[in-house]
Structure 1
Amino acid sequence: MAHIAILTIGAHGHINPTIDLVAEAVARGHRVTYCVPGGFGSAAETAGAQLLSYDSLLVSRPAGPPTRPGTKPIDTPTPTPTAAEFAAYLPFILLAETKQVLPQLLHAFADDIPDVLLYDRTAYATGRVLGEMWGRSSIEAFASFAYNEHFSLAAVTRQQSVLDPDHHGYRALADQLAELATDTRTTPLTVDDFVLGRTGTAIAFLPRGFQYAGDTFGPGYNFVGPCLRTRLAASTRTCAPVEVYASLGTAFTDRPEVYAAITAALGQIDGRSLLSMGSTEHDQIVANTGDDRIEIRPFVDQLAALAAARVFVTHAGMGGVMEALYFGVPLVCLPQTTEQQTVARRVAELGLGIELGADAPTPSDLHAAIESARTDPRIRSNVRAMRDIVRATGGATAAIDHIQRVLETTPRSAGDPFQATTSVAVH
């Protein structure tokens, strides 16, 4: 049996899809080492993985970009960056994370190199470099949309992209990638490789039919859909039927104006509603609701709530959208980030719900969207069809089948013994 390493980041939307993979791999007799920042990973350990914690530089909401990406560190907090700024400097943040994490993993696996590495898309450079240094197969994992030459967030949002050689960050990023290759004695990654996550083999936690330009991704890309089996088995709570379940996730909960609009709209719904407000408490909103048909909780068992809901009001994170589609629940999308806006747009394009945009909606607009998602026969028919597609994608079973095929068909190379067993100083 194989030793499988899984490398992900400290974000629930990236961790949750991999827990089923751990359970499925362990059930088949494989050994799994789960690499994640300290403070995360307890669910993977419960599922049977050996936990390997590493120190990470990533934070959920960086303060702002450097003046010119890649030229100096962020010394002074700045206002929240625009979407274009964030897209420009994110590659440099991810590359800095590689330089932080790579020596830790080389040291940790020095005497126990895994047979295959599944790495999160955000850890692209780390995964590619480790695979080459170890002489092992590495497989990319996309928690959201996969990228290629036909689709990327920069392309779909028409942002000026660091992929453009005339972009002010292009040369700095190319230089840093070249330095990484020199320091690790590995094949240089191009800017296109790094930004697009270019790879020959990948697992994506969505159906190919939901993926933008899905038919342009080759057979090495396995679209397995959401992996919910372990969480469904652990979800012992039941939820009474609700007309609307609303949640903006856990990362962007400081939006009192949005919560006020949601509670006002839910007050116009004939029936019971459930609102999860995350870790942020807006006591005044709760006090002003005065409607016992609206149940407000800080946290909710989301799978149980979706199983009981007729409509899901969501920030349009990919994980939550896939969970709703698994249960056949139409969506009303209030996206908070560029990526969520792209997910919401896809929901609307496929007729699976309503997209209202990033700004706080008026209660009347939100109420109208909820009623449309709740009653429109076209939306409900499209959601039922997508539910059947989502449930047929294979989930963790298909993902581990893919990993085993890679192990069986890709010969192991010797790698560089010095590189594979020595902590490389990455500057």
Structure 2
Amino acid sequence: MKICWFCIPAHGHTNPTLSLVKEMTEAGHEIYYFSFNEFKEKIEKAGAKFISCDEQEFEMEDKENAERVAKDIVFSTQLIVKTTLALDEMVNEKVKEIKPDLVVSDSVAFWGKLIAIKYKIPYVSSTTTFAFNKNSASYMNQSIWNLAKMIFTMPKANKQLKPLQAKGYPVKNILDIIQNDNETNTIVYTSKYYQPCSDTFSEKYCFIGPSIRPVETPFEKTSDTTIFISMGTVIKNKSFYNDCVEAFRNTNYQVIISTGKSDTPFENLPSHIQVYPFVDQMAVLSISDVFITHCGMNSASEGLYFEVPLVLCPQTQEEEAVAIRTEELGAGIWLKRIRQSKDILEAVNKILADPTYKQSASKISKSFKECEGVKAAKAFLEGIKKE
């Protein structure tokens, strides 16, 4: 089977797919993975044929405008149209050459879905966040005002689809592109238990659990209590890491901070607080007792896989959905406002003092480990080919 796979330039959307790509290529299937040069090495390591989208003349504005994309349907439509048109010639040429049996695209790599529609190729959505429908949308905090605004701006958004229609994409409505329904074949990288409103999704949704890397570089546990802090690649609150340092300065906890691309300066760090740009996150989580996280779907899932309760500090609507669900299941505390550094310490100490947080994290972990993983996803994709 030949598969054209499309993804956005984001580690959080690419990484979960790689073990499935590896499973498929080892079974003899051909994966043609349309992505960006930053991800070339890891995609090829998984056995796929990498096709670069970087040479096309457009910028992925949604990297810096994630919140606007989520809230502004007119802006989102402009971005979808601009991106699809920029990739149109190259992608169409490759698809005609490859003649794929299946198209798999990230749930927000809409150009992949559009190609599948245009060429009437079976389509699968690869969803690295929670799956969303009218029932689970409440986890994205979509207010009545936001929904009314979306409906009001829909005609303007639909008018912007004309350039796509002129290029042969048979779309009449923006919702045809951005919305999946219960008839859309979808792979979701979480468990039914962790997924909000999972009973409202059809059998077309395949919940395979998170993709967890093995520990590569073991990390030494130097205290009875280890706190891991990571807010992802980019952090909005520039004082957050220093607030954490002050929160834990006078404790005997082992504190490990992974700052990513943050340029936060640190002064007078006590010896029990260690700061790194990057760490082997699986290794650190395997020895951690509490994880302070931005609630990226991958990070939260990794923490919960290792049965670590979470202090939840989301920065986007998508991350807020993870915070809401995790707190709802009793596996973490959402720190909605930090007035002073002791708020962080109090949240951590509350989790350490109450064993139900650990028990709830263990229950989610169990649901992850009971998922059939990439083997179930492989069978799911092969079954679509036979339909």
- Deviation of 1:396 after TM superposition, in Å, equals 1.6
Residues 404 and 318 (structure 1 numbering): CA distance in 2 closer, same or farther, change over 3 Å?
same
Unpaired segments ≥5 residues, structure 2: none
Aligned position for 2:285: 306
Specify the SS of the correspondent of 1:255: coil
Structure 2 contact 338–344 (Cα < 8 Å) conserved: no
Q: What secondary structure, in the 3-state scheme, does the structure 2 residue paired with 1:336 have?
A: coil
Q: Which residue does the alignment assign to 2:114?
A: 129
1:83 to 1:142, Cα distance in 2 relative to 1, 3 A:
closer
Picking from 99, 107, 117, the partner of 2:103 is: 117
CA contact (8 A) 1:129 1:184 kept: no
Which amino acid letter does the alignment assign opposite residue 370 of structure 1?
A: V
Residue 127 of structure 1 aligns to a residue whose secondary structure is helix
Distance in 2, matches of 1:166 and 1:24, equals 42
- Output the aligned Cα RMSD: 2.4
Task: Decide whether aligned partners of structure 1 residues 154 and 354 sit closer, same or farther in structure 2, where only a CA change above 3 A counts.
Answer: closer
Deviation string, structure 1 residues 136-179 (Cα, Å, up to 9, x no partner): 21100111011223233686331634675642x31121222355
CA distance in 2, matches of 1:222, 1:361: 42
Matches of 1:360 and 1:92, distance apart in 2: 36
Aligned residue in 2 for 1:383 = 361
SS of the counterpart of 1:39?
helix
User: Residue 328 of structure 1: CA displacement?
Assistant: 0.9
**Structure 1 contact 204–221 (Cα < 8 Å) conserved:** yes
Verify the 8 A CA contact 1:257 1:360 in the aligned structure 2. Answer: no
Count of aligned pairs: 380
Q: Which residue of 2 aligns with 1:243?
A: 226
Q: Which amino acid aligns with 1:62?
A: E
Aligned to 1:72: none
Show the counterpart of 1:192: 175
Of 102, 120, 125 in structure 2, the residue corresponding to residue 140 of structure 1 is: 125
Counterpart of 1:96 in structure 2 is 82
Contact 2:208 2:374 in 1 (8 A): yes
91-100 vs 315-324, greater mean Cα deviation: 91-100
Mapped partners of 1:210, 1:361: distance in 2:
30
Counterpart selection for 1:401 from 373, 379, 384: 379
Are 2:18 and 1:38 equivalent residues in the alignment? Answer: no
- Compute the TM-score of the two structures, normalised by the length of structure 2: 0.90
Change (3 A) 1:82 1:57: closer
Stretches of structure 1 lacking an aligned partner (at least 5 in a row): 65-80, 410-427
What is the CA–CA distance in structure 2 between the aligned matches of 1:378 and 1:89, rounded to whole Å? 43
Match for residue 345 of structure 2? Answer: 367
Please give the per-residue CA displacement for 1:240-299, whole angstroms capped at 9, x wherever unaligned. 12611100000x23533111111122324432110001122222xx2133x100110011
Aligned 8 A contact 1:8 1:36 in 2: yes
Deviations 1:197-241 (A, max 9, x none): 34521011111222222111111011111112xx32xx4200112
Q: Choose the corresponding residue for 1:62, options 61, 64, 72.
A: 64
Counterpart Cα distance in 2 of 1:216 and 1:108: 37
Matched residue, 1:174: 158
- Structure 2 CA distance, aligned partners of 1:400 and 1:270? 47
Q: Match for residue 301 of structure 2?
A: 322
1:21-56 CA distance string (max 9 Å, x none): 111111211111111023223211111111101135
CA distance in 1, matches of 2:187, 2:145: 28
State yes or no: 1:4 paired with 2:3: yes
Q: 1:265 corresponds to which residue?
A: 247
2:152 aligned with 1:150, yes or no?
no
Deviations 1:294-340 (A, max 9, x none): 11001111111111111110000111011111111110011111211
SS at match of 1:245: strand
CA distance in 2, matches of 1:84, 1:16: 22
Percent identity at matched positions? 25
Q: Which has the higher contact order (CA 8 A, sep 6+)?
A: 1
- Aligned partner of 2:185 in structure 1 is 201
Closer/same/farther in 2, CA of residues 185 and 321 from structure 1, 3 Å limit? closer
Distance 1:365 1:32 in 2: 48
TM-superposed deviation, 1:377 = 1.6
Compute the displacement of 1:8 (Å): 0.4
Q: 1:298 to 1:48 in 2, by over 3 A?
A: same
Q: Which residue of 2 is the match for residue 412 of structure 1?
A: none
